[in-house]
A and B are shown apart, each in its own frame.
Chain A
C-alpha cells in the first residue's frame, strides 16, 4: 500500500492512502498526540470530511484492535536511523517447513547474519525469542539486518 506523508508545519503530519474500495483516507497526526481521521470526497479531493477524532490513548487502543501489522511497523521504524540496516517482516506460511519447529532450527542468524528480534503472533509480541521458541503458522517474524539478510531469512523460512 502506498502511504503518502505530508508535513503540516506547526500541526503535525498527514498520512494519506487509498483503500481497496477507492476511498481516499487521511490521518492527521497532531503534535499533541491526537489523531483526526478524515475521508476525501470523490468529487473534491481537496476537501477533507472529518470522520472521527481520537486522543492518543484511543488511537493506541484502535491500533491494538487493528493488530499485529502496526506493531510490526513500529519495529520497522527501529532500524530507520542506521544506514544499511533494515527491518523486515517475514510471515510463516502454513506450508513452511518450520511450522511447529523451534526457531533455532532455522539457523537464520548464522546463515544470513540477520537477527529475529520478535515474533508477532495474533496480537501478541514475543520479544527477543530464544532458539527454543516454537514457530506457528501465520506468525510474523520481525527481522533486522541487511537487505540481503532479510531476503535470506525469507527464503529459509519458505523453503528450508
Chain B
C-alpha cells in the first residue's frame, strides 16, 4: 500500500485547524458550521491555499456525510414524538412553510432563476437546523423553558417535510420532469410510511438484522445496510439522503440508541467533511456578488422565522418574552440547507453561491440573536429571588 504523505498531512492539518476554530466558536455558543464553510472556501478553487490531496478525500467523503446526517436524524426520530408534534403543531408547521419558503421562492424569482433553482432556494430558507438549535437550547439552558416543546415540535415536522421535499427536489435537480418528480416524491413518501409502519410493528425484527452485542459489528452492519439502501434510493432518483433517513426510521429502541452512540463520532467527522466540501465547491469570487442578496434574504427570513416561533409558542400559551425566545431560536439554518445545496451541486453555481452565503450568515446570526433576545440568560437571571 502506498502511503500518501501529502494526503495525511493536509488532512491532519485541516482537521486540527477545524478543531481550533470550532472550539473558539463553541466558546461563544456559536455553531462551528460557518467555520467549516469558511475553511472550505479558503482552501478550494480560488481560495488562498488550495489543498489538492485532501480535497479529493473531502469530495469523496461528502456524500457519506449527508448519508450519516440523515441516518442519525432518522435514528432520533420517534413515532410518538412525531404524532404528538403533529397533534399540537400542525398549524405551526403550515405557517412555517408558508412564511419561510415564500421569501426564498420570491428571491429566486427576482434573481431570474428557473423553477428548480427557485425550489432549491425556497427549501434553503425554509428548513431550520435542528442540530444547531437543539444544541443551542442546551447551551443556553433553555431546555426546561415552556416555549421549548413548541420549538422542537416545529423542528421535528420540518425534518419530516424534508423527507418529502428531498426526493421531489432530487428528481428535478437531476433533470427529470415534474411528473417524474411527483412520482419520486410519492414513492418516497410511500416508502416512508411503510418504514414507519414497519418500525412500529416489526421494528424489533428489523433491529435484529443489525443488532449485535459488539459495537464494531453493529457499526459495520448499520453502516453497510445504510449505504446500500442509500445507493438504491439514489439509483431510483429518490436521493441517497432519503434512503438513509428511512433506515434510521426503521431502527428503533435499544438498537437505535446504541447505533446512535457508535455512529455519533463518525457522523461528526463526515459532517465536517461535508461542510468543508460545500465550501470547497464554491468559488469565493462568485460568493462576493451574492452577499447583498444573501443579507437581504437573511433579514427577511430571520423575521419570518421569528413570526413562526411566536405563532407556535403562542399556541402553547407562552407569554410574550418566551414567544420571542422561540422565534429567535428557530432562525439558525445549517446542515439541511447545505444538503440541498449539495444536491444541486455545482450545476447551478449562482444558487450554490447565494445559498452558501445565506447559510453562513444564518448559522452565525441565529445563535447570536437567540442569545440576546427574550430576557437575560438564566445565569444572570438567577439573582432574582
Contacts and interface: CB of A to CB of B under 8 A. Distances in A.
B384 A41 contact: yes
Interface in A41-65: 41-50
Contacts of B375: 44, 47
Contact of B149 (A7, A30, A49): A7
Given A47-B322, A49-B382, A9 B144 contact: no
A48 B378 CA distance: 7
Contacts of B149: 6-9, 14
A10 B381 contact: no
A139 B322 CA distance: 46
A28 interface: yes
Contact of A10 (B76, B147, B325, B378): B76
A4 to B, nearest CB: 11
B128 interface: no
B81 A41 contact: no
Contacts of A46: 145-147, 318-319, 321-322
A26 interface: yes
Given A10-B152, A47-B378, A28 B318 contact: no
Contacts of B156: 9-10
Interface in B65-81: 76, 78, 80-81
Residue from B137, B141, B144, B321 with most neighbouring chain A CB atoms (10 Å): B144
Contacts of B325: 47
Q: How large is the interface on B (under 10, 10 to 19, 20 to 34, 35 or more residues)?
A: 35 or more
A36 interface: yes
B134 A10 contact: yes
Nearest to B381: A49
B266 interface: no
Contacts of B85: 9
A85 to B, nearest CB: 22
B130 interface: yes
A11 interface: yes
B60 interface: no
A66 B378 CA distance: 27
B21 interface: no
A145 to B, nearest CB: 28
A7 B153 CA distance: 9
A10 B156 CA distance: 8
B177 interface: no
B143 A8 contact: yes
A44 B143 CA distance: 15
B146 A45 contact: yes
B148 interface: yes
Contacts of B152: 8-11
Given A42-B385, A45-B146, A50-B141, A7 B318 contact: no
Interface in B174-230: none
A39 to B, nearest CB: 9
B143 A49 contact: no
Interface string B133-161: 01001100111111111001101100000
A41 B385 contact: yes
A38 interface: yes
A30 B147 CA distance: 17
B245 to A, nearest CB: 14
B378 A49 contact: yes
B84 interface: yes
A43 B231 CA distance: 54
Residue from A11, A31, A47 with most neighbouring chain B CB atoms (10 Å): A47
Contacts of A42: 385
A141 to B, nearest CB: 31
Contact of B381 (A14, A26, A47): A47
Interface string A72-87: 0000000000000000
B81 A9 contact: yes
Interface in B299-328: 318-319, 321-322, 325
Residue from A38, A40, A42, A48 with most neighbouring chain B CB atoms (10 Å): A48
Contact of A48 (B78, B142, B321): B142
Nearest to A30: B143
A133 B137 CA distance: 51
Contacts of B257: 31
Contacts of B78: 9
Given A41-B381, A43-B384, A46-B322, A9 B141 contact: no
27 contacts: A9-B78, A9-B153, A10-B76, A10-B134, A10-B156, A11-B137, A11-B138, A14-B144, A26-B144, A28-B143, A31-B76, A41-B385, A42-B385, A43-B384, A46-B146, A46-B322, A47-B145, A47-B321, A47-B322, A47-B325, A47-B375, A47-B381, A48-B144, A48-B145, A49-B141, A49-B381, A49-B384
Interface of B: 76, 78, 80-82, 84-85, 130, 134, 137-138, 141-149, 152-153, 155-156, 257, 318-319, 321-322, 325, 375, 378, 381-382, 384-385
Q: Nearest 8 CB-CB pairs, A to B? A: A48-B144, A38-B144, A46-B322, A9-B81, A46-B146, A50-B141, A9-B156, A9-B152
